[in-house]
Amino acid sequence: MSLQIISIILGSLTLASALMVVLSKHPIRSVIYLVVTFFFITSMYIMMNAQFLAIVNMIVYAGAIMVLFLFVLMLLNLNKEMEPMNTKGAQLAAFIAGGSLFLVLITALKDTLILGQTYRQQDNSIGLVKELGNLLFTKYVVAFELTSILFIAAMVGAILLAKREKQIIE
């Protein structure tokens, strides 16, 4: 029973913070709320016993990526400018479109087999580091190694793009 209450609270807090990401005028606030959202998502992973992903989510998203966002915001120094916003009509259209999407998705959910099922207690070990490590270094080892190439490419790309053009010429 308490688990139920906790999950409902966590769920509503996740959605609320996610809404605040979208609604807050200032980008810095958005970033902060996004970090909060990621925290709650992490907590959900823990509830589903996906321990490895919970930790990775915490480190990569809430840690690395969000710091990157903050850095960029600081670099650009946007404080003085007014935040650009869409027109009211466009916003209304966006909300209607989003609402319909949500309705459709919920309708799809209505018929799924998963409805009313809890996670299986006997299988809850799959999210552990040991299990995933086994999978990652056997079945998916090639893909795992290839990610390093992806990261190198991303690094090189980021450095090249962020450099000033003059420096590139020199």
Partner 1 sequence: MQAASSIGTSLDFFLFVSFALFTIGAIGAMTRKNMIVLLMCIELMLNAVNLMLVTFSTYYGNGDAQIFVFFTMVVAAAEATVGLSIIIMAYRNLKSIDIDMYNQLKN
Partner 2 sequence: MAKDLTLLLLLALPLLGFAVNGLFGKNLPKIMVGSLATGVVFAAFLLATTLFSGLHGTQIVHLFNIIDFDQLQINASFQIDALSVWMTLIITGIGSLIHLFSMGYMSHDEGYHKFFTYLNLFIFSMLLLVLGSNYFVLFFGWEGVGMCSYLLISFHYNDAQKGLANSLAGRKAFIMNRIGDVGLLLALFMLLGQFNTLEFLQIGAAVQQNTALQGGAMFFITLSLFIAATGKSAQIPLFTWLPDAMAGPTPVSALIHAATMVTAGIYLTVRSNFLFELAPFTKDIMLYVGLATTLFAAFMALRQNDIKKVLAYSTVSQLGLMFVALGFGAYTVALFHVTTHAFFKALLFLGSGSVIHGMHEEQDIRKMGGLAKLMPVTHFTFLIGTMAISGIPFLSGFFSKDEIMAQALHHNSFAYVVLVIAVTMTAIYMFRLYFLTFHGAFRGGEALKSKVHESGLSMTLPLVLLAVLSIFGGLLNLPGLFFKGAAHWFDHYLSHSTFGLSEVHNVHLDFNTSIGLMLFASAVAIGVMIWAYLNYAKRGALAKEDTALSGWERLSAQKLYVDEIYHAAFVKPLLALSHFIGKVVDIQILRNGIYALADGILHSANLTRKWQTGFLSSYLFWMIFGLITFIAYYILKLSVWH
Long-range contacts, 54-63 (Cβ 8 Å, 24+): 62/35, 62/38
Q: Give, as ranges, the residues between 130 and 169 that touch partner 1 (CB under 8 A).
A: 131-132, 135-136, 139-140, 143, 147, 150-151, 153-155, 157-159, 161-162, 164
**Cβ atoms 61, 38 nearer than 8 A:** yes
Contact with partner 1 (CB under 8 A) among 111, 116, 142, 170: 116
Residues 6+ apart with CB under 8 A from 35: 62, 66
Report, in Å, the least distance between residue 166 CB and partner 1. 11
Residues 6+ apart with CB under 8 A from 48: 119, 127
* 85 binds partner 1, rule: CB under 8 A: yes
147 binds, among partner 2, partner 1, none (CB under 5 to 8 A by kind): partner 1
Nearest 5°: the CA angle 131, 4, 107 is 85
* Length reported for the chain: 170
* 63 binds partner 1, rule: CB under 8 A: no
Contact with partner 1 (CB under 8 A) among 36, 79, 80, 126: 126
Q: Which residues of the chain form contacts with partner 2 (CB under 8 A)?
A: 86, 90, 93-94, 97-98, 100-101, 104-105, 107-108, 111
